[in-house]
Structure 1
């Protein structure tokens, strides 16, 4: 019974953190506000999380990361991955929180450091797709995989957070073709 109560309190704290991030942003997030929203004590929060950066990180760590899908080629795998990522983002309030947190990283180096691991988890499926594309000969063996990931994540961020326009299947295909062309493969014919 004690463990169930503890898990319920933890979930209430994480839910409150996400709600407050969405409503007020990172700069205005306080442990006291989280405690009030979650109906928990500040000492309960501090027993689990050292500071608000760790609390925000815990919210992100609870979110699912889509597994790298296996398809016939890089473009089909990229489309599957973007579809899974889109479903996750549709079902969470983080879509509106992520741009704010990115901006806050400029003024809060500890937040930036805490989010490095979160971003690394998001990069891992793309890295797997790109390495399989290299193994299949779609991308040059000496391709800079990390640069390709930066390009994909950057294009996706612009589309989602600045243009507020989810990527269409055609946009994903075009992005995949540009990545293939830029990293040593010729553009595949349209399907």
Structure 2
């Protein structure tokens, strides 16, 4: 059945209708996968989801907000807790690269970063997301600090930024097939720089 043959989805106001919201998020992911960032627009998403643009903008005030929710909805990256900082970070980066490589999430996140270069709303949304991720990754460092692997004065948030910078560089340059030995070498350089006294 063609898209035109389906009736439009009804808005129920400011409160989200879960079925309609899922349809819009599915449509957004499909448009991004098929048309890429250059072909992604709220109009294209509305057509595919058979939803009104006002409904989409009521629930997602910007293109960036929609992209970010599409990304977060599909993100499933295990964070190891092995009791060893190097193994935790290598495992985390391996899992993250695999997720970006094997799902559409890598393209979604690249699109969000691209949007943030020219749109202040997107930049704010990306910064807010990055802040949450910094805190999450920083917990890996804090666990290692509690075990004595990391020097007490080390700023965990700054170390988390270094880990994120390594990951984002690989995503933005499409080098997600990095072998584990190279990832381990980078992690080792980092962990040796922040190591606690033995």
Q: How does 1:51-70 map to 2 (within 5 A)?
A: 51-70=62-81
Gaps of 5+ in 2: 1-9
- What are the Cα deviations for residues 7-63 of structure 1, in whole angstroms up to 9, with x where unaligned? 3322221122223334242x6543222110112222332342233232223213313
Give distance in 1, aligned partners of 2:52 and 2:139: 42
Give distance in 2, aligned partners of 1:141 and 1:167: 31
- Whether the aligned pair in 2 keeps the contact of 1:74 and 1:176 (CA below 8 Å) is no
When the two chains are superposed, the root-mean-square deviation of aligned CA atoms in Å is 2.9
Aligned to 2:26: 15
Shift of 1:67: 4.9
Aligned to 1:86: 97
Q: Secondary structure at the match of 1:120?
A: helix
TM-score (norm 2): 0.77
Greater shift in the superposed pair: 68-77 or 176-185: 176-185
Q: Secondary structure at the match of 2:88?
A: helix
- Whether the aligned pair in 2 keeps the contact of 1:138 and 1:185 (CA below 8 Å) is yes
TM-score (norm 1): 0.80
Give distance in 1, aligned partners of 2:168 and 2:135: 17
- Whether the aligned pair in 2 keeps the contact of 1:13 and 1:40 (CA below 8 Å) is yes
- Whether the aligned pair in 2 keeps the contact of 1:20 and 1:34 (CA below 8 Å) is yes
Aligned to 2:129: 118
Gaps of 5+ in 1: none
Distance 1:158 1:115, change over 3 A: closer
Give distance in 2, aligned partners of 1:65 and 1:116: 20
Aligned to 2:149: 138
Q: Is 1:147–2:166 an aligned residue pair?
A: no
Aligned to 2:188: 177
Q: Secondary structure at the match of 1:70?
A: coil
